[in-house]
Amino acid sequence: MTVDLFIPCFIDQFCPEVAEATVKVLRKAGVEVEYNPEQTCCGSFAYNAGLIEEAKQLGDKFLSDFPNNRPVVAPTASCVNFIKKRYPQLFFNTANHLNFKRLVPNIYELTDFLVNKIHFDDFGAEFPHKVTYHDSCSALRGMGLGKEARQLLSKVKGLELIEMKQTDLCCGSDLAFTVNHEPISVGMAHHKVKNAMNTGAEYIVSSDMSCLSHQKSYIDKQGMPIRTIHIAEVLASGWE
């Protein structure tokens, strides 16, 4: 199987190691990976800031950047959920109507693709650490995903998963919300990270890099003894 890789703009700019781990994991699963270097943003940041026309322009480009009738896989739930839920609104009865109808059913968040599409969950990974898992709003409430990540983590040698209280609680990660309501956003991050710390875990794991980036910013500012890591990096650990 061949897939197109969608790397959201913030991962490309700030955490390319997540993109590299995603490619490594997909290839380990026997998947051929194609990457269009012309891809940019799906439009979610503009949309969430209320810039609907700008979001449409970015969405038009996104649809043209992924013209193939094959799966598109991305290592973050927030962008995939935005495309699945908002593109039908943005592009209904427009010149891109047929393009969004082709793409929306074929775009997958990474854990969804691995577990539900190709049924591959054991990479021979080793990660000898205690971890706790953060269910992002986009993954859990947006797309009903959560058990997939836990299934993948259950196959990782040496990993101990300790569930935190209120694992589905929002961490306050959304660019527009964080900018416009910073005290509330920081308070939500505090509550999420405190729950994670109370498990004794060394790492917070998630499939959503936007959430992890937000939590990492809070952790770093407070000097807290816990780290964040994307699930792709965990699955890519311990093997060449």
188-227 per-position pLDDT tens digit: 999 999 999 999 999 999 999 999 999 999 999 999 999 9
Q: Rounded mean pLDDT of the chain?
A: 94
pLDDT tops 90 at residue 178: no
| Residue 182 pLDDT | 78
| Residue 191 pLDDT | 93
* CATH fit for domain 130-235, picks 1.10.3470, 3.40.50, 1.10.10, 3.30.43: 3.40.50
| Residue 224 pLDDT | 96
| Residue 185 pLDDT | 84
72 or 178, which is more confident = 72
116-170 per-position pLDDT tens digit: 999 999 999 999 999 999 999 999 999 999 999 999 999 999 999 999 999 889 9
HEC letters along the chain:
CEEEECCCHHHHHHCHHHHHHHHHHHHHCCCEEECCCCCCCCCHHHHHCCCHHHHHHHHHHHHHHCCCCCCEEECCHHHHHHHHHHHHHHCCCCCCHHHHHHHHHHEEEHHHHHHHHCCCCCCCCECCCEEEECCCHHHHHHHCCCHHHHHHHHCCECCEECCCCCCCCCCCCCHHHHHHCHHHHHHHHHHHHHHHHCCCCCEEEECCHHHHHHHHHHHHHHCCCCEEEEHHHHHCCCCC
- For the chain, give every domain's residue range: 2-117, 130-235
| Residue 175 pLDDT | 62
pTM above 0.85, yes or no: yes
